[in-house]
Chains A and B, each alone.
Chain A
Amino acid sequence: MKVLVAVKRVVDYNVKIRVKADKTGVETANVKFSMNPFDEIAVEQAVRLKEAGTATEVVVVSIGPAQAQETIRTALAMGADRGIHVQTDAEVQPLAVAKLLKAIVANENPTLVIVGKQAIDDDCSQTGQMLAALLGWSQGTFASKVDLKDGTVAVTREVDGGLETVDLKLPAIVTTDLRLNEPRYASLPNIMKAKKKPIDATTAEALGVDIASRLITLKVEEPAKRQGGKKVGSIAELVDKLKNEARVI
C-alpha cells in the first residue's frame, strides 16, 4: 500500500509575523520557514504505517518555490521514501493544490493520502476535503487516531463536542489533528541518508492544472491592538474591578 503525504512550507509557527506597510501581505523576507506542523504529523503517521509493515512506500509532495525542496528533504529525513516537487512561485490556493494533488494521485495510485488539517499561514482547512471531493473518495478530517483494516480505515475525529469515529472505504483522505502523534526529530544519519533520496520535479503546466487564484486579496491589515497590561494587586481588587469597573460579573 502506497501512502501519499502533502507538506507545505510555511512561516515557522514561532515567528511573530508582521504585516507589510503597503498592505499587500505579510513580511516573508528574512523570516524562518518550516514544514507546516500538521504536515509533520502527517509524515510521522505515514512513516509509522511503513514501520508497521502496513505501508510499502511513502511519497511526499510539496507545491511551492525552490525552497519547498527543503521541506521535502525534512520529510525524507523523517523516513519518507521519495519526493515530488511541484515548482511554482505563484500563490497556490487550496482548490488549486487539491487539483494538483489529484493529478499526482492519478500517476501514483496511493491507497491513502494524508494531509494536515490546516496550513497555519492561510488557516483555510480546505485542501484535504477538496481533494477527497475531486477524487470521489471518502474523508476523515481532524484525525486523532487512524486504524487501517482490510479495505477500510477507521478514523477517530476531533469534533466540537468530543470525538467521533467513522469507517472510511479505501482509498481515503485523512487530515491530521494535533493529538494523532508526536512527530519525531530526524537523526543526523537519517538527514544524511535523505540527501540521496530522489525528488522528482514537475510543474502545474506539466500536470495540466490551471492554478490561477479565484480569491483576490485586496489588502492585508494588522488587527486592532488590544489595550492590556494592567495588573491588580489582589483577588479582592480583581473581583471589585470586574463587578464595578468592567461590569461583567
Chain B
Amino acid sequence: MALLVIAEHANSELKAATLNVVTAAKEIGGEIHVLVAGSNAKPAAEAAAKVAGVSKVLLADAPIYEHRLAEDLAALVVKLAPGYSHVLAPATTSGKNFLPRVAALLDVAQISDISAVVSPDTFVRPIYAGNALATVQSKDATKIITVRGTGFAAADATGGSAGIETIEAAPSSGLSTFVSQELSKSERPELTSARVIISGGRGMQNGENFKLLEEVADKLGAAVGASRAAVDAGFVPNDYQVGQTGKIVAPELYVAVGISGAIQHLAGMKDSKVIVAINKDEEAPIFQIADYGVVGDLFKLVPELSAELDKVK
C-alpha cells in the first residue's frame, strides 16, 4: 500500500519540513503520495511534484484550507486515510495540531515525533526531553506519525516528476475560523533548516542586545534562536524558542550565548554537529555538552567574535 505525506506549505511554496518527512516515508517503504491542502496552492503542489521519490501529488485547493485549520484539514485526511498504510506529517506546530485529530477519528494511537524508522510498524521516538529513546511498535492498521525533522535528511527537492491530481475538498466543519496572524519577519534562514544558529538566553538582558547576535548571524548566514527565559522575558518572539517545548534543531553549528543549558533547552539542540557556548559562569551545564566553550562576559566576547569573523572571511 502507499504512504500519504501531508505537506507543510505556505500555498505559494513548499516548506522544507516536508522534505524530511518524505525521507522518513522512503525509509518505511512504499509508493509516496503527498497531499497539498491549501488555497491557491498550485505552486506548492508543483514543488511537491518535483521532490525526488514522490509518485503522486493530491491537491485539495479550496478557501477553507488557506490556514489549514485543524478541524477542516483533519476531516479531509480522514477521508483519504483508508487508501494508505501510513499517514505522515512533520512534527511542526501545524502537524501537531491536526494529526492527533486524524488519529482519534480513525481510532488509532498516533506515534509522535519519530526520530528513526526500525521497520514499517516500529519506530524510535525521544521521550523525557530526549533523555530517553523509546522504541515503539504500533498495533494499529493505519500508522499515524509525526516526524522529527532532525532525525531524517531532507529529500532532494528536485528530480521527481509526479502527476498532480486535483481532489475535492471535504465539507467545512464550521467549528473554527481564522482571525489573524502575526508572523515574525526575517531575512534570515528558518530556525529548523538553518545551517548555523546563534541563540541568546537570559544573559542577553534585553531584546535590544539581541542586535549583537544578529550582527554575528548576518556574517555566518545564521538564524537567531533563544531560550525560554529570553522569550518569557519578552526579549524576542515565541517562535525563537529552542527546546523540548519549542523548536528542535540540529544545525552544523549552534552557538549558545548567555544560556545556562537546562535540560529543556538541551533537548532542542543537543544533536547539533558542533556546539559553542559563551557564558560567564564556568560551571554552567551548557559547557558539558559544548565542543568549544568560552568563559567570559558575552558583552565583550560577542563583539569580539563579530570582529574576528571579519578577519577570516
Contacts and interface: CB of A to CB of B under 8 A. Distances in A.
Interface in B271-313: 273-276, 282, 287-295, 301, 304-305, 308-309, 311-312
* Majority-rule SS of B interface residues: mixed
Given A223-B132, A246-B274, A218 B122 contact: yes
Interface in A42-96: 93-95
Contacts of B192: 160
A98 interface: yes
Interface in B258-280: 263-264, 270, 273-276
A182 to B, nearest CB: 9
A178 B245 contact: yes
B112 A235 contact: no
Contacts of A117: 245
B100 A133 contact: yes
A211 to B, nearest CB: 11
A215 B136 contact: yes
A124 interface: yes
Interface in A100-154: 117-118, 120-134, 136-142, 144, 154
A98 B104 contact: yes
Contact of A220 (B100, B134, B264, B293): B134
B135 interface: yes
A234 B307 CA distance: 13
A243 interface: yes
B110 interface: yes
B100 A94 contact: yes
A138 B71 contact: yes
Interface residues of B, number: 92
Sort chain A's interface into a size bin. Answer: 35 or more
Interface string B73-116: 01000000000000000001110111111111101111111000
B305 A130 contact: no
Contacts of B220: 249
Contact of A124 (B110, B239, B305): B110
B309 A166 contact: no
A229 B93 contact: no
A90 to B, nearest CB: 14
A154 B287 contact: no
Contacts of A167: 176-177, 179
Contacts of B194: none
A120 B244 CA distance: 8
B239 A231 contact: no
A26 B128 contact: yes
Contacts of A138: 71, 173, 175-176
A21 to B, nearest CB: 13
A17 to B, nearest CB: 5
Contacts of B304: 235
A161 interface: yes
A95 B130 contact: no
B231 A214 contact: no
Interface of B: 67, 69-71, 74, 92-94, 96-105, 107-113, 122, 125-140, 173-184, 192, 196, 220, 228, 231-232, 237-239, 244-245, 247, 252-253, 263-264, 270, 273-276, 282, 287-295, 301, 304-305, 308-309, 311-312
Given A231-B294, A236-B308, 17 more contacts: A120-B129, A123-B125, A126-B110, A133-B74, A133-B104, A158-B239, A159-B94, A162-B182, A167-B176, A178-B231, A214-B108, A218-B135, A218-B136, A220-B134, A222-B132, A229-B288, A235-B294
The 8 closest A-B pairs by CB, nearest first: A214-B109, A130-B104, A129-B100, A138-B175, A133-B104, A126-B100, A228-B289, A133-B101
